[in-house]
Amino acid sequence: MPMDDETRAFLRGAYQYLEIHQKTINQVMIVTFALQKALQELGPEAAQLYAKHYQAQMLGPLKSEGDEGLKDLSRLVQQLSDAGESS
């Protein structure tokens, strides 16, 4: 069964979205590993400061916004799955 134009466009957009986010994740991982190595070299006081700031961010707006974005994406995937099952 051939793919319709709307599905093709959606899949192309989804791939581009994932590609951009994968590049971002790679950058975040590099920064995270570099930060961990720097903290090891700086000692326990630096690790404690990092832990304090990390906890504050986990309770802050960045975490909430990220969680909401993930929920939106999950709802969209569910809608697509439901539409595919009813076809």
- Structural Rg of the chain based on CA atoms: 20
By C-alpha distance, which of 86, 65, 68 is closest to 76?
Answer: 68
Q: pLDDT class for 3, splitting at 50, 70, 90?
A: confident
pLDDT of residue 42 exceeding 90, the answer is: yes
pTM: 0.60
The pLDDT assigned to 66 comes to 78
Check whether 45 has a pLDDT greater than 70: yes
**Which two three-digit tokens encode residue 29?**
């991982």
Write down the residue that tokens 């051939």 correspond to: 2
